Amino acid sequence: MRIIYLIDFNCPYSYIGLERIKKACNSLDLDVEWEMKPFELEPEAGKRHTISITERYSDKYNLSVEQASDRISEIEKIALDDGLKINFKDIKLTSSKDALRLTKFVQSNHPEITLDIVDKIFYSNLVKNENIADINILADIAVSCGLDESEARKILENNYYNIEVFLDMEDAISNGITSTPCFILNEKEERLIIPGVFSAEEFEVAIKDFAEGNIESKTYGFGTL
């Protein structure tokens, strides 16, 4: 089975959802070919931290600062219940474009290490609260995953894969995908799109039904945390 996952590194739901669907696949002992596709959620974010995530959530979702803070705390608790000790409230909200470009390059040329680099960029951003718009940080992550530093810096310093990131997002939007995460299951000629975040158990049921050809009796809409 091939599973395409659309993510953004500024999205904690992407981190949680990817971990849950991987857990479901492991539980089913499923042989999966994974493919990452980028979906940039904050295209206006710069390379430097200028606004807190609390302020951003307050503005984006029309919440009071207190309501935004409560929502962020809830996300952190949900992640912790899944074993992910994220510190979302202190994230340095910066552009994820370079991280997405680097990961797109890795997916295209070194697919065997893509999940590893995805996990480490999430960890850098959401746990260590590093600036993932800093190409030095991204280069160090790439090297830790086995990528040659000069190869990584060549991509990062020259805006390579910028168009590919844009086209992947445009393709997603044309297929009705407007947020992350989103998971697209492919088996032979069949395809199932699962947008949103389900529990690991719900992912497992969906994957099992799809693999057994029972998707007609199932409707998978937007998952909830």
Distance from C-alpha of 74 to C-alpha of 70, rounded to nearest angstrom? 6
Please tell me the predicted confidence (pLDDT) of residue 46. 83
Please tell me the predicted confidence (pLDDT) of residue 222. 37
More reliable by pLDDT, 223 or 149 = 149
Please tell me the predicted confidence (pLDDT) of residue 5. 97
Give me the CATH number covering residue 79: 3.40.30.10
Q: Evaluate whether residue 187 is within a structural domain.
A: no
Please tell me the predicted confidence (pLDDT) of residue 20. 97
Q: Evaluate whether residue 84 is within a structural domain.
A: yes
User: What pLDDT, in 10s, does the model give residues 9-33?
Assistant: 999 999 999 999 999 999 999 999 9
Average pLDDT over residues 206-219: 74
- What backbone phi and psi angles, to 5 degrees, belong to 50? -125, -15
Q: Evaluate whether residue 88 is within a structural domain.
A: yes
Please tell me the predicted confidence (pLDDT) of residue 218. 42
Please tell me the predicted confidence (pLDDT) of residue 43. 87
Lowest pLDDT segment from 72-81, 142-151, 164-173, 212-221: 212-221
Q: Evaluate whether residue 6 is within a structural domain.
A: no
Please tell me the predicted confidence (pLDDT) of residue 225. 32
* The one-letter amino acid at 104: K
Please tell me the predicted confidence (pLDDT) of residue 216. 55
3 and 35 in contact (C-beta within 8 Å)? Answer: yes
Q: Evaluate whether residue 92 is within a structural domain.
A: yes
Q: Evaluate whether residue 32 is within a structural domain.
A: no
Structural domain for 96, as ranges:
42-163
Count of domains for the chain? 1
Burial of 61 (0-12, 13-18, 19+ CB in 10 A): exposed
Please tell me the predicted confidence (pLDDT) of residue 215. 67
Task: Return the DSSP state at 111.
Answer: G
Sheet containing 182-187, strands listed edge to edge, beginning at the edge strand earlier in sequence: 33-38, 2-7, 182-187, 190-195
Q: Reply yes or no on whether the pLDDT at 190 is more than 50.
A: yes
The mean pLDDT of the chain is 92
Q: Evaluate whether residue 10 is within a structural domain.
A: no
User: What pLDDT, in 10s, does the model give residues 28-50?
Assistant: 999 999 999 999 999 888 888 87
User: What pLDDT, in 10s, does the model give residues 91-127?
Assistant: 989 999 999 999 999 999 999 999 999 999 999 999 9
Please tell me the predicted confidence (pLDDT) of residue 154. 97
Please tell me the predicted confidence (pLDDT) of residue 91. 93
Q: Evaluate whether residue 215 is within a structural domain.
A: no
